[in-house]
Amino acid sequence: MSPVTRRRLLWGILFISPWLIGFVAFTAYPVIASLYYSFTDFNIINRSPNLVGWSNYADLLQGREDSWKSMRVTFRYVAMLVGLATVFDVFIAMLLNMNVRGLSLYRTVFYLPVMVPVVAASLTWVWILNPNHGLVNGILARIGIDGPNWLASEKTALFSLVMVSVWGSGRAVLIYLAGLKEIPQHLYEAASIDGANPWRKMWAITLPLLTPQMLFNVITMTIFSFQSIAAPEIMTGGGPNKATLLFGYQLYRVAFERLKMGFASAMAWILFIVILVLTIFMFYGSRNFVHYER
């Protein structure tokens, strides 16, 4: 290696060293440490963990710490959220793709929820969904409907969390909007010549060519939904009767309220495996449904 090449290499290492140190300290080490701790009885109070083998994983599979309950609730939450958000976001993106006055303002309004911190948004929605003086039940009362106790009823609590998450999915709307802008106009012109109506154009052109964006949004939304903590913590506390006890939130409770870091680490790795399997399944399953323009 010549002196010039060696000097360039050293300067390159120097420039990336802040990122590299941060990656090792805050990402690589915690991941490796959590894998080790998942095989121990480590907790914050007892700083000398003992190896317990696969017992944490065995306890998880046996339903300890409401693991099965929280996983079932999480799957229902993710299924509802991904389905409703996809339909809602595509619909809003199509509206924002129309040539109407004030379009920039509308786009800003629909993206604003993304800028609101999750804690602030959750507290706001707690007030909006308040059964006595909340905005939603106030509107329902004006039209003669007795609104439910949204966050205290097992029938509506999980759905309420889903709707709050759908409200904050403006980033996906922008991705769909960018996808709509990339669809060639000559395809719509050719369809018009063939006599296709707007409904037919949507099903034959728009939706098929939006499937790459749909795949990306579905995967990212699935990953983040499985890790949801703040909204259930603030809005419902996992209740009522564990109806909103999401797996990510239960993991947080086990780790930082019950101080069972070893068991929580095992929960984290199970969550990682579940998300990984779902992601691989969606990638392979998308080959027959995702269409790319050639």
Distance between CA atoms of residues 39 and 54, nearest Å: 6
Q: Is residue 43 part of a domain?
A: no
Q: Report the first-to-last Cα separation within the chain, whole angstroms.
A: 45
Q: Which domain holds residue 273?
A: 57-288
Mark the ranges of the chain whose per-residue pLDDT is less than 70.
Answer: 293-294
> Which residues does 263 contact at the CB level (< 8 Å), separation at least 6?
56, 59, 60, 64, 65, 254
Q: Which of 35, 37, 71, 121 is nearest to 249 (CA)?
A: 71
**Helix, strand, or coil here: 151?**
coil
User: Which pLDDT score, from 0 to 100, does residue 9 have?
Assistant: 86
User: Which pLDDT score, from 0 to 100, does residue 126 have?
Assistant: 94
CATH number at residue 137: 1.10.3720.10
Q: Is residue 25 part of a domain?
A: no
Q: Is residue 37 part of a domain?
A: no
Q: Is residue 209 part of a domain?
A: yes
Q: Which two tokens stand for residue 181?
A: 């802008």
Q: How many domains does the chain have?
A: 1
User: Which pLDDT score, from 0 to 100, does residue 293 have?
Assistant: 65
Q: Is residue 4 part of a domain?
A: no
Q: Is residue 274 part of a domain?
A: yes
Distance between CA atoms of residues 49 and 41, nearest Å: 6
- pLDDT tens digits, 104-135: 888 888 888 989 999 999 999 999 999 988 89
- pLDDT tens digits, 153-206: 999 999 999 999 999 988 999 999 999 999 888 888 899 988 888 899 899 899
- Predicted structure pTM score: 0.91
